[in-house]
Amino acid sequence: MLTFEHITLGQRVLFGTGQAATNLAAEVERLDARRVMVIAAPFEAEIAKKVTEKIEIALNHDEVVMHVPLEVAERARAAALTHEADLLVCVGGGSTTGLAKAIAMTSGLPIIAVPTTYAGSEATNVWGLTEASRKSTGVDDRVLPVTVIYDAELTLSLPVEMSVASGLNGMAHCIDSLWGPRVDPINSALAAEGIRALAAGLPAIVAEPQGLAGREQALYGAYLSAVAFASAGSGMHHKICHVLGGTFNLPHAETHATVLPYVLAFNAAAAPEAEVRIAAAFGSRTALEGLQELRERLDAPKALADYGFTADGIAEAAAVLLPLIPASNPRQVTEENLTRLLQAALRGEDPAVASEMVLEGESR
């Protein structure tokens, strides 16, 4: 018998290639906003200018930093207050959306998110802030954007390598959702469809970087992944990546893309229903085979060492992580097997072989 509790977050989604500026103007009017604060990193300035060409802007704010350091958030909050902003419009990736969320968390200002990557943060009520090399995350409905405007044209400037890493970040939302603390049949179904869409869209982007069909599929999949993740909650994979990002300042998307196969290999045998669902979404014999075949086609990130992580950080990472892993994780996490997982991800070892070695060690 099915017994579960599911919460669906209230949010307007406007999806249309080439329609971002028109959709944004309509939403600003609908919300009766008069003092719009636009948040976009300097390298996204031209895209933001195009998106906002039909609205009046009270303030352009461009101090966007990965992992949202608290001091950066405080300056943005002060700017919003000084300019009496009544609406936040963020144009960019996860860091940009994260900064808008940091402002909304203390001010209650509504957010319209216009994503230019496949991060998925725009569809969750999850926030993240970094202080003293520690990244804290939480859930607060005030940070959920009231509207998300998706436009595949805005992702055309995203290089293929970054598109792959960002899309695999979305894939991680899907897979982690299948054993998250609040997993249920609804978010499992959303996650499976998200896997299918991302697995179709990302290779199309690699094959034809300026094609829109693949980027539309990737955006669609990223949205589904985020909705599933917001419902299911943060699982083992995201705890690992948030600690690696906040403590060691590793790049967000590449870290997710690198760590994902190791967590999947670690958990798959202990979560047979999730494993079967993931495999089916990939159209593969096993979940790990499907993910690895996709990663091979995409030339995905392979080793944390490529992004600045070193063996010297493993002990600290494991110590910080261990109390954060949800008790509901399908497989028991210990200091020993967590350390081995991090070692394998550091070196880019074969995830299947690394997982088998851990299992053999635990059976002795």
**Residue 59 CB neighbour total at 10 angstroms:** 16
Mean pLDDT of 232-250: 94
Q: What is the pLDDT of residue 132?
A: 85
Token pair belonging to 59: 């303030």
Residue % of the chain over a pLDDT of 70: 98
Q: What is the pLDDT of residue 42?
A: 97
Q: What is the pLDDT of residue 364?
A: 59
Q: What is the pLDDT of residue 196?
A: 98
Q: What is the pLDDT of residue 255?
A: 97
Q: At what angle do helices 287-298 and 272-282 cross, to 10 degrees?
A: 40
Please name the residue ranges forming H helices in 212-334: 212-232, 236-248, 252-267, 272-282, 287-298, 314-321
Q: What is the pLDDT of residue 208?
A: 98
Q: Are 183 and 213 in contact (CB under 8 A)?
A: no
Computed over every residue of the chain, the mean pLDDT equals 95
Cα(238)–Cα(241) distance, integer angstroms: 5
pLDDT band at residue 349 under the 50/70/90 scheme = very high
Domain 161-363 listed as CATH 1.20.1090.10: yes
Beta bridge partners of 114: 91
Nearest to 230 by CA among 167, 171, 182: 182
The secondary structure of 301-357, three-state, reads CCCHHHHCCCHHHHHHHHHHHHHHCCCCCCCCCCHHHHHHHHHHHHHCCCHHHHHHH
Residue 150 has pLDDT above 70, yes or no: yes
Q: What is the pLDDT of residue 354?
A: 82
Range list for CATH 3.40.50.1970 in the chain? 12-155
Nearest to 265 by CA among 352, 342, 347: 352
Domain 12-155 is in which class?
alpha beta
For 186, the 3-state DSSP assignment is: helix
pLDDT (tens digit, 9 = 90+) per residue, 48-75? 999 999 999 999 999 999 999 999 999 9
Which amino acid type is present at position 86? D
Cα(43)–Cα(154) distance, integer angstroms: 13
Range list for CATH 1.20.1090.10 in the chain? 161-363
pLDDT (tens digit, 9 = 90+) per residue, 103-112? 999 999 999 9
Q: Which residues of 338-354 are buried (b: 16+ CB within 10 A; e: fewer)?
A: bbbbbbbbbeebebbeb
Q: What is the largest CA-CA distance in the chain?
A: 67
Mean pLDDT of 332-345: 96
* Residues contacting 160, CB < 8 A, separation 6+: 205, 206, 209
Q: What is the pLDDT of residue 363?
A: 59
pLDDT band at residue 119 under the 50/70/90 scheme = confident
**Residue 108 CB neighbour total at 10 angstroms:** 9
